[in-house]
Amino acid sequence: MKKQVLTFKVNGLSHDAIVTPNMTLSELLREELGLTGAKESCGVGECGACTVLVEGKPVLSCSALAIAARDKEILTIEGLAASVGKKPGELHPIQQAFVDYGAIQCGFCSPGMILMAKALLDENPGPTREEVQEGLGGNLCRCTGYVKIVDAVLAAADVLRKEAGT
């Protein structure tokens, strides 16, 4: 099995990493690049905790190969705020809404939830409550009961639409 040095574009920066074909994207992010925001929970594609965005699309990093993501734009929770021009320490509007609405308890599901919410709002900036519930259908939360998460995403949608002037 070949070891290769490959270049990954993560959160707007290029990283070189030594990769073997059997490395998952979550192993690359967490173990090679030290980006532990994406959580690995079920490891089999069922919980959404490991969600990151690849070329803007939500990807379960536990079930994706790192090698297949080379040369693609990867966004993790660590880079979300900066991706909309926030300074270090500031939050993205979706993150801020999660804080404001108490949508975070243990926090294990939050990075995946927030990135999935971003993918949803990028595609559909004005979702109904039902569309938010459907959009987050692949993300499990064992703490909040989901209501506050859905409230937060709807509130973030309002903020983002106002910022975009639409």
Ligand X SMILES: Cc1cc2nc3c(=O)[nH]c(=O)nc-3n(C[C@H](O)[C@H](O)[C@H](O)COP(=O)(O)OP(=O)(O)OC[C@H]3O[C@@H](n4cnc5c(N)ncnc54)[C@H](O)[C@@H]3O)c2cc1C
Site residues (vs ligand X, CB under 6 A): 45-46, 138
Burial 145-162 (b: 16+ CB within 10 A, else e): ebebbbbbbbbbbeebee
Residue 162 binding ligand FES, by CB under 6 A: no
Residue 65 binding ligand FES, by CB under 6 A: no
Residues 130-149 that bind other proteins (CB under 8 A): 134-138
Amino acid at 122: D
* Calpha distance 53→73 (Å, rounded): 8
Binding mask 123-142 for ligand FES (x = CB under 6 A): ------------------xx
CB of 47 to ligand X, least distance (A): 9
CB of 89 to other proteins, least distance (A): 29
* Calpha distance 66→6 (Å, rounded): 10
Cα R_g (the chain), whole angstroms: 16
Which chain residues interact with ligand FES by CB under 6 A? 40-43, 45-50, 60, 62, 104-109, 141-144
